[in-house]
Structure 1
Amino acid sequence: MKVTIAGAGRLGTQIAQVLAAAHNDVTLVDSDEDRVAELEGHLPLRMVAGDASDPSLLEQAGVLTCDLVIATTGSDEENLVISLLAKRQFAVPRVAARVNDAENAWLFDQRWGVDVAVPAATPLISLIEEATGATDTVALLRLSKAGVEVIETAITHESRAVGRTLGEIALPAGTVVATVIRDGQPTVPGPEMRLKPGDELLLVSHAATEQEIHAAFQ
């Protein structure tokens, strides 16, 4: 699946990381050149600097051949413009947009090119399920073409994994930690990374269940 994501904030970056880890072709667009430079080379995807509400920039990002566009900027106005352009000008099959202000939710419909409107408080995995049209069990994203499952777990003060390195944690067979998100920043971790409360982990597995993953960390 080819995906363009507008907005490299915490949410957009997390979605991009999950979809890229599942072997999708992902392009992440942000108008902040410093943010793009910060993420470039640290994520397995393409970064593009520029305003995603500019049709020429969207075309440069490859939206003409996209299967999915996700607008996750912090501005409802920008998300609507991006959605409208994606659907009306570039005929993207599926468009999802984040609703930052609940009072604007009524605008996020087919008139603005939005197939899926997602409230800001929606959990990450649920948002991805809604956006991609891949629905399965709660808190679990299955991407059948990739043959993998992406599972999210968070480290709290009560988690038994606190203070331990990833190398010290026995993971189910066929499971890898795709990224650790700490203070809003995604990191491709090594076995020496020591887990802290507040860390969010995204794991890719060919066989493990959500319960097995949580048991390893909680």
Structure 2
Amino acid sequence: MRVLIAGAGRLGTQIARVLSAAHHEVTLVEHDAGRLAEIADVLPVGLVSGDACEAGVLERAGVRNRDLVVAVTGRDEDNLVISLLAKRRFGVARVAARVNDAENAWLFDGRWGVDVAVPAATPLISLIEEATGATDTVALLRLSKAGVEVVETAITERSRAAGHSLGEIALPPGTIVATVVRDGRPTVPGPDVRLLPGDELLLVSHEATEREIRAAFQ
């Protein structure tokens, strides 16, 4: 599947990471060049600098050949404009948009080109399921064809992994930690990274089950 994601914030980068791990073709559009520079070496997706509210930027990002557009900027007005352009001008088959302010939810429908409206509080797993139309998602996304699973887990004060470094945690065979999201910023973790309450982890495994992976941290 060919996906264009507008917005390289925490949610946009997480979606891009998961879908690219599933071997989907992903392009991420972001107006903040500094933000793109931060993730250029850690996110294996196409990156386009520019305002996704501009038709020319979307076209430069290849929107005409995309199966799915996901608008997840922090501004509802921007997400609506992006959705409308994607659907009405470029004929994208499926458009998903994030609703940041619940009071604006009534706007996110077919009139603005939105097929799937996703409230800000919706878990990442649900957003990806709804946006992609997947029906076999386990944890975040089961990569059945590749034999790989991507699992999200959050560190709380009660987690056994809280306060421990990644190198101290016995991961199930065939499992790696793809990223640690702290204070909204994803990083590629090393063994010395100490896990703190509030951290969110994305793990990739081709052998372990979701239960086994969660047991290592919770």
Q: Same fold (TM over 0.5)?
A: yes
Q: Which runs of 5+ in 1 are unaligned?
A: none
Task: Tell me by how many angstroms 1:215 deviates.
Answer: 0.5
Q: Where in structure 2 are the equivalents of 1:128-139 lying within 5 Å? A: 128-136=128-136, 139=139
RMSD value, Cα:
1.7
Q: Where in structure 2 are the equivalents of 1:126-205 lying within 5 Å? A: 126-136=126-136, 139-205=139-205
Q: Where in structure 2 are the equivalents of 1:25-104 lying within 5 Å? A: 25-104=25-104
Task: Tell me by how many angstroms 1:99 deviates.
Answer: 0.8
Cα distance between partner residues in 2 of 1:167 and 1:94: 41
Cα distance between partner residues in 2 of 1:2 and 1:192: 36
Between Structure 1 and Structure 2, how many residues are aligned? Answer: 218
Task: Tell me by how many angstroms 1:104 deviates.
Answer: 1.7
Task: Tell me by how many angstroms 1:166 deviates.
Answer: 1.8
Cα distance between partner residues in 2 of 1:75 and 1:17: 22
SS in 2 for 1:51: coil
Cα distance between partner residues in 2 of 1:41 and 1:106: 38
Asked if the contact 1:69/1:92 (under 8 Å) is kept, the reply is yes
Asked if the contact 1:135/1:141 (under 8 Å) is kept, the reply is no
Amino acid at match of 1:124: L
Task: Tell me by how many angstroms 1:213 deviates.
Answer: 1.2
Task: Tell me by how many angstroms 1:161 deviates.
Answer: 1.0
Asked if the contact 2:166/2:191 (under 8 Å) is kept, the reply is yes
Amino acid at match of 1:61: A
Task: Tell me by how many angstroms 1:208 deviates.
Answer: 2.3
TM-score under structure 1 normalisation? 0.92
Asked if the contact 1:134/1:143 (under 8 Å) is kept, the reply is no
Mark the CA change 1:136 to 1:187 in structure 2 (over 3 Å): closer, same or farther.
same
Task: Tell me by how many angstroms 1:137 deviates.
Answer: 5.6
Mark the CA change 1:187 to 1:21 in structure 2 (over 3 Å): closer, same or farther.
farther
Asked if the contact 2:161/2:169 (under 8 Å) is kept, the reply is yes
Asked if the contact 2:125/2:141 (under 8 Å) is kept, the reply is yes
User: CA deviation digits over 1:43-100, x for unaligned, max 9?
Assistant: 2222211110111100111112112110001111111111111112222221100011
Asked if the contact 1:99/1:105 (under 8 Å) is kept, the reply is yes
Q: Which runs of 5+ in 2 are unaligned?
A: none
Amino acid at match of 1:153: T
1:216 is aligned to 216
Task: Tell me by how many angstroms 1:202 deviates.
Answer: 0.5
Amino acid at match of 2:175: T
SS in 2 for 1:18: helix
Aligned-residue sequence identity (percent) comes to 76
Mark the CA change 1:214 to 1:17 in structure 2 (over 3 Å): closer, same or farther.
same
Cα distance between partner residues in 1 of 2:77 and 2:146: 34
Asked if the contact 1:126/1:138 (under 8 Å) is kept, the reply is no
SS in 2 for 1:69: strand
Cα distance between partner residues in 2 of 1:146 and 1:64: 27
